[in-house]
Amino acid sequence: MAKTEISPCIGICRLDDSGQVCVGCRRTLEEIAGWSRYGKQQKEKVWRRLMALPLPVQAKTCPQCGNGFTCGAGGEAGGCWCADLPLELSPGKANSDCLCPVCLQKRLGAEEG
């Protein structure tokens, strides 16, 4: 099954304050209600819109040091601060979901050295 045929639903089904958009998958009520009858092109259009949205800002806890930090903001281009770091250091390479800025910089320094 192609990705566009899979529902964007992530099981966090709750509407935002406007009552028009799901806070989980970020589809509109119209998109949610119509998904099962949408054809391939309509589903692809919804997926393209969702993929173009900026990632939501999240409060996270660093698995290495235990400090809290913000993921998804603070970068020069408006995205996550980690997007400004060299591409060689990905979360997968760091063996964690996300490290805080201090731990990620330390890891980067250790790998460069």
pLDDT digits (tens, 9 = 90+) for 81-91: 877 777 655 44
- DSSP annotation of 13: -
pLDDT digits (tens, 9 = 90+) for 24-83: 899 999 999 999 999 999 999 999 999 888 777 888 899 999 999 888 888 777 778 877
Of the candidate ranges 6-10, 17-21, 80-84, the one whose mean pLDDT is the lowest:
80-84
- DSSP annotation of 98: -
Structure tokens at 57: 């800002």
Question: Is residue 63 helix, strand or coil?
Answer: coil
pTM of the predicted protein model: 0.56
Radius of gyration (Cα) for the chain, nearest Å?
18
Residue type, 105: Q
Q: In the predicted model, is pLDDT for residue 92 greater than 50?
A: no
Q: In the predicted model, is pLDDT for residue 106 greater than 80?
A: yes
Q: In the predicted model, is pLDDT for residue 12 greater than 70?
A: yes
What ranges do the domains of the chain cover? 9-53, 58-109
- Res 33: pLDDT: 96
Residue type, 113: G
